[in-house]
Structure 1
Amino acid sequence: MMKTITALLSLSLLMPMAAIAADDGSAAATNNCDELGSKIVLGQKEWVTVVSSKQRTIARVDTGATTSSINAADIKTYQKDGKDMVDFKIKTKDAESDVVTLPVKRWVHIKQSSTLTASKRPIVSFDIQIGQKTYTTDFDLVDRSHMLDSILLGRSFLTHVAVVDVEQQYIQK
């Protein structure tokens, strides 16, 4: 009996996600499953549109990162009416947005594995579009110009929205 349960569990781990998602002949049971329940399926890289600036760029999906990050330039923080505010430009490989002004939701100290010191970054919230869906999520603002991807989607975004298939890329069109 125990061998049978172990074998079934092992087999279920090897089944494609589409077969697990539905077994009733519905459209969700196809090999091109792009949704799992109410969550979307993302590959290790996905096309993302920053709604306010209409910039479309590739985002790296990183389950190891807590916070999502976006490439920001000319970051200037200040106080207005007792609230922290930030002005910045969103930079992608192809474009730079006009100046964006947003309230700082909170500050985060990020410690990167490549350095010993932590950096203090502002967290802001704005809308992104992945596939046909729009999500409001938090991003820390940082110069990512030395990185390959302008946007990194971390666990703070992924947790309630997506599951990740690391063998795939560009699942959401």
Structure 2
Amino acid sequence: MRKKGRGRTVKGLGLVAALLLCLLQPFSLRADSPCADKKIIGQECWVHVEGLELDFLARVDTGATTTSLHATDYLIHNESDDPLENVGKTINFLTIASNGEYKRMTAEIAKVQTVLNAQGREKRYMVRLTLAAEGVRKSILVNLRDRSKMKHKLLVGRDWLTDDFLVDVDLAREDAPEEGEEE
């Protein structure tokens, strides 16, 4: 014998869910929505690093707390074996942009960050850099890491994305901006 009413409840819940989706979708598109002023970017984004005057095709990673820049060949003035004692000292490092151009940069070590990853705990130096993309310019702490084996030499994390960007993983931006074109 079939129970009456159960099928109606399931259909009723589906109808309520569909109705809510229809009602909430226009809300997110309203001009007074908190999302209205945010730039929409994809999984990759062209980012200009001031001071280096280099452009990077960055990987956009909403799962990463901190932005990370490829850096090798560190030289620290009066380096100590204890990374924490190097905070406030000058670090000089080598990086490579998406076009293959190598550049050295000097910055002050602002902090040492301990990162947990698949390889275990890793200490990384952090320097303050200004990054610009899509008309947004921000100064943030960026950790330095050897990203030689990775396609993207710059990974942008939530520290840079917060308040200004929405990430649409369906978007792909593979071409560099044309000269004179705004990012």
Aligned residues: 157
The amino acid that maps onto 1:162 is: F
Q: CA deviation at 1:5?
A: 4.5
Task: Please tell me the residue identity of whatever aligns with 1:103.
Answer: E
Return the match for 2:122 from 94, 119, 122.
Answer: 119
TM-score by length of 2: 0.72
In 1, the alpha carbon distance for the partners of 2:165 and 2:61 equals 12
Task: Compute the displacement of 1:78 (Å).
Answer: 3.9
Output the CA distance in 1 between the equivalents of 2:31 and 2:64. Answer: 33
- DSSP 3-state at the match of 2:89: strand
Q: Find the aligned partners of 1:47 and 1:145 in 2 and give their Cα distance.
A: 19
**Considering only aligned residues, what root-mean-square deviation do their CA atoms show, in Å?**
3.1
Alignment of 1:129-148 (within 5 A): 129-148=132-151
Residues 104 and 47 of structure 1, relative CA distance in 2, 3 Å threshold: same
- 2:19 equivalent to 1:21: no
Equivalent position of 1:7 in the other structure: 18
What CA distance in whole angstroms lies between the structure 2 residues aligned with 1:23 and 1:112?
A: 40
Q: Which amino acid aligns with 1:135?
A: K
Deviates more, 1:48-57 or 1:60-69: 48-57
**Structure 1: runs of 5 or more not aligned:** 25-34
1:100 aligns with 2:99: no
Supply the distance in 2 between the matched residues of 1:7 and 1:75 (Cα, whole angstroms): 56
Determine helix, strand or coil for the equivalent of 1:156.
helix
Superposition TM-score, scaled by structure 1 size: 0.75
Q: Which runs of 5+ in 2 are unaligned?
A: 1-11, 80-85, 175-181
After superposition, the Cα gap between the structure-2 partners of 1:4 and 1:47, relative to the gap in structure 1 and judged at 3 Å, is same
SS at match of 1:46: strand
Structure index of larger Rg: 2
2:156 is aligned with 1:157: no
Q: Structure 1 pair 22/123, CA: closer, same or farther in 2 (3 Å)?
A: same
Contact 2:113 2:126 in 1 (8 A): yes
Q: What is the DSSP-based 3-state SS (H/G/I as helix, E as strand, rest coil) of the residue aligned with 1:147?
A: coil
Cα displacement (A) at 1:79: 5.0
